[in-house]
């Protein structure tokens, strides 16, 4: 299997991306196509042992930077690594594309280059979010592709989340929760109140509305929300976790006995860190576009990008695009939502 | 000063509320009016030493339960503790009303009983949110009063937040941040993009848009958002903190040396807990209604409610209602927003 990687994407590109490609090629037996500026990639590859690994360079002379306006950049930079990578997927030369670059840019490049799955109104960006369930995480979408959503989009996000959780994450009959301000159906925004009856009427395992605290508590396997709320939610969670770690460090450092205690407890802290580490899952799929696209955190190091490549492999192996397309046809959720439910 | 307390509100009412009233009356030298069912309150008061304290009972025969529909309950239960308490404030017999009951009920009772400050379009529910700044917290609103907001509401929330932070929290020229999905002005929902120019044109110290992770990082002193996003955000933060504690406990318990280490580090854990404990601030003001109303967490114990009474005292001493009214007139933000900014 060939996976295309945006060698120029992310805060630590190209070093982290090239390192990740070497790592993933070795661990997962993949061909990793390094898309980007050849000279820079070659210079990085020289730092690694690559004997026996298949790491072709696919030249792309331009880079979409983090601060650029996504749609404008994608339109004007025809030879950007993201654009070239999407074309590889479109032509069937890559099973998936992975990028830690400007996520709006990846979204725009995917929409221009691959388009949407027939019947899907909007793609959704997703993440694996840690929780206290035995499984250890849920699947949360949308986390930023659509800052203003309509009820029928959220219904489709739920459907796509169901298929991804079932097929790729191996969750049986995943519990779908709609993020809201209370469990009661009369709570929440107008959007939530319009989505609730659509989800109830759908064939999905909809367990009702869940609150912010219910997500880490593991009440739902798939959490559906609009891209604005989802984005604020995951970044808030990241910030809170970081604040807790910093404050605890500060309190420990102020107390000599606590410093000793923290040393003794270090393996427990490390285990906790691994459990909450976004790098373990590497990246989230951009669902609804006509190809497998995985978006990794801009801050990703080589380990995170290596794992994002693993996620891409799994999604491609399970043919998530075909599964969603079939699921959409079977559930009739590609019809205008109001007609579909009544 | 007389503060009215909803003796029937909260998961642990009336025991926690009555205990809190005794505690606050003693510590803050207040008269705390216990509003609710006399027999139940008297039975609880009998468990405490109340000699020398002024704890009058204000009879209210009905209770608005947690699951009730707020507006319906407030309209039908004329003798509910929340309704009676608001009337005390309206008649000037109490300087403030504090409740840990159904927050939608408190909002409805405040709107019916007190009305809005002249010129304020919508009230906002606020909280003190911990962060890593030297001050240790920011002021966040709206966290649930308005699940669907309009740009001019958020502009007024910013103004009210500015005055509360300045007057009651003693922050000089508080930095106002608008919660969004990125710092860039072209990011965020349509609502956010419409609010940004209004805030820029206002006399407030608007520092721009902040992301979810920037809130615990302390980038803004006052964080403004709609009630849906704010509610999901704070409940998510609560859930994440709780998950981290649970997972860390689990990892520690699995390792005997770590158990010893955690014992040694216990004072540091306790200090962290106190720093993040919502009970320290007790409750958040419902800003924009024509009286001082403090809403405490439904789970509040006596300590949290005691502190909510302290918050009520501070807000009443600083005449927050008058300050907001004056601030609104001076800033001309009571005018239709689009006219006010040009």
Same domain membership, residue A3 and residue A16: yes
Looking at the structure, do residues A62 and A101 belong to the same domain, yes or no? yes
Nearest to A212 among B232, B246, B272 (CB): B232
- Over its C-alpha atoms, chain A yields an Rg (Å, rounded) of 21
Q: In the predicted model, what is the mean pLDDT of residues B253-278?
A: 92
Residue of A nearest to B184 (CA): A67
Q: In angstroms, rounded to a whole number, what is the distance separating the alpha carbons of residues B57 and B34?
A: 5
**Do residues A95 and A205 both lie within one domain?**
no
Residue B128 falls inside a structural domain: yes
| Model confidence pLDDT, tens digit, residues B294-310 | 999 999 999 999 999 99
Q: Is residue A339 part of a domain?
A: no
Does residue B146 share a domain with residue B113?
A: no
What is the pLDDT confidence band of residue B337, given thresholds at 50, 70 and 90? very low
Distance from B41 to chain A by nearest Cα, in Å? 30
- Kindly tell me if the per-residue pLDDT of A336 is higher than 80: no
User: Residue A251: which H helix or E strand, with range?
Assistant: helix A227-253
Residues B104, B53, single domain; the answer is yes
Residue of A nearest to B264 (CA): A261
Instruction: Find the CATH number of the domain harbouring A265.
Output: 3.40.718.10
Which of B229, B263, B280 is a domain's end point? Answer: B280
Q: Is the pLDDT of residue B264 over 60?
A: yes
B128 in the same domain as B266: yes
More confident residue, B274 or A48: A48
- Among the partner residues A148, A235, A261, nearest to B212 by beta-carbon distance: A235
In terms of domains, do A131 and A262 share one? yes
CB contacts, 8 Å: A148 with chain B? 189-190
d(C-alpha A76, C-alpha B286), whole Å: 49
Residue B333 has pLDDT above 70, yes or no: no
**Could you tell me how many CB contacts below 8 A there are between chain A and chain B?**
217
What pTM, to 2 d.p., does this model score? 0.94
Residues A173, A268, single domain; the answer is yes
Taken in order A10, A15, A20, A21, the sign of the CA dihedral is positive
- Closest-CA distance, B70 to chain A, in angstroms, reads 11
Residues A98 and A1 in one domain: yes
d(CA B279, CA B277): 5
Assess contact for A4 and A97: CB atoms under 8 A: yes
pLDDT tens digit sequence for B53-112: 999 999 999 999 988 999 999 999 999 999 999 999 999 999 999 999 999 999 999 999
A158: phi then psi, degrees, rounded to nearest 5: -60, -45
End-to-end CA distance of chain B: 43
CA dihedral sign, ordered A276, A278, A279, A283 = positive
Same domain, A167 and A190: yes
- What is the pLDDT averaged over residues B302-319? 97
Q: Could you list the residue range(s) of the whole structural domain that residue B274 is in? A: 122-280
For residue range A250-262, what is the model confidence (pLDDT) as tens digits? 999 999 999 999 9
How far apart CA B113 and CA B108 sit, in angstroms, is: 8
Residue A336, token pair as written in the block: 């205008």
Which band of pLDDT confidence, cut at 50, 70 and 90, is reported for residue B17? very high
- Judge whether B340 lies within some domain: no
A275 contacts B268? CB cut-off 8 A: no
Residue A91 in domain:
yes
In B, minimum Cα distance to A254 occurs at B268
A235, A249, A254, A260: best mutation site toward chain B, by most B Cβ within 10 Å?
A235
Whether residue B296 sits in one domain with residue B182: no
pLDDT band at A263 (very low <50, low <70, confident <90, very high): very high
Average pLDDT, chain A: 94
Q: Which residue has the tokens 């799955």?
A: A117
Beta strand B124-130 pairing with B283-287? antiparallel
Residue A195 forms part of a structural domain: yes
Which pLDDT does position B196 carry in this prediction?
A: 97
Contacts of B215 in chain A (CB under 8 A): 236, 239
Counting the structural domains of chain A, the total is: 2
Q: Could B190 and A214 be called an inter-chain contact, meaning their C-beta atoms sit closer than 8 Å?
A: no
pLDDT of A341 > 50? The answer is: no
Query: What are the φ/ψ torsions at residue B123 (nearest 5 degrees)?
Result: -75, 160
B2's tokens: 């007389």
Does A100 share its domain with A17?
yes
Smallest CA–CA distance, residue B149 to chain A, in Å, is: 9
Is there a domain that residue B71 lies in?
yes
Can you tell me the mean pLDDT for B41-64? Answer: 98
Tokens coding B185: 């002005």
Mean predicted confidence (pLDDT) in B120-139: 95
Residue B334 pLDDT exceeds 90? no
Residue B339 lies in a domain: no
**Mean pLDDT taken over chain B:** 94
SS3 of A217, please? coil
- CA separation (Å) from A85 to A11, A67, A100? 18, 20, 13
> For the complex shown, is ipTM > 0.85?
yes
């Amino acid at each position: 299997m060939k996976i295309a990687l945006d060698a120029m994407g992310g805060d630590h590109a190209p070093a982290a991306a090239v390192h990740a490609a070497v790592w993933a090629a070795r661990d997962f037996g993949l061909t990793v196509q390094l898309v980007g500026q050849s000279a820079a990639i070659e210079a990085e590859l020289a730092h690694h042992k690559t004997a026996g690994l298949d790491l072709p360079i696919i030249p792309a002379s331009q880079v979409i930077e983090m601060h650029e306006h996504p749609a404008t950049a994608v339109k004007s930079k025809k030879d950007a690594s993201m654009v070239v990578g999407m074309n590889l997927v479109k032509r069937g030369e890559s099973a998936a594309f992975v990028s830690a670059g400007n996520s709006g840019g990846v979204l725009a490049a995917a929409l221009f280059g691959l388009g949407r799955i027939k019947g899907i109104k909007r793609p959704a960006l997703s993440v694996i979010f840690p929780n206290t369930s035995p499984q250890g995480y849920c699947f949360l979408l949308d986390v930023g592709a659509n800052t203003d959503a309509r009820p029928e989009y959220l219904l489709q996000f739920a459907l796509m989340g169901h298929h991804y959780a079932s097929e790729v994450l191996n969750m049986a009959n995943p519990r779908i929760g709609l993020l809201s301000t209370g469990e009661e159906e009369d709570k929440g925004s107008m959007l939530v109140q319009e989505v609730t009856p659509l989800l109830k009427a759908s064939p999905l395992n909809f367990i009702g509305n869940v609150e912010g605290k219910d997500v880490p508590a593991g009440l739902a396997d798939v959490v559906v929300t609009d891209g604005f709320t989802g984005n604020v939610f995951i970044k808030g969670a990241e910030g809170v976790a970081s604040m807790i770690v910093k404050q605890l460090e500060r309190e420990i450092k102020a107390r000599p006995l606590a410093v000793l205690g923290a040393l003794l407890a270090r393996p427990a802290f490390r285990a906790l860190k691994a459990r909450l580490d976004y790098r373990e899952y590497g990246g989230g799929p951009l669902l609804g576009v006509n190809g497998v696209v995985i978006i990794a955190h801009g801050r990703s190091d080589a380990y995170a990008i290596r794992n994002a490549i693993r996620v891409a492999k799994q999604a491609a192996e399970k043919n998530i695009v075909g599964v969603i397309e079939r699921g959409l046809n079977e559930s009739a959720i590609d019809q205008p939502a109001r007609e579909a439910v009544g």
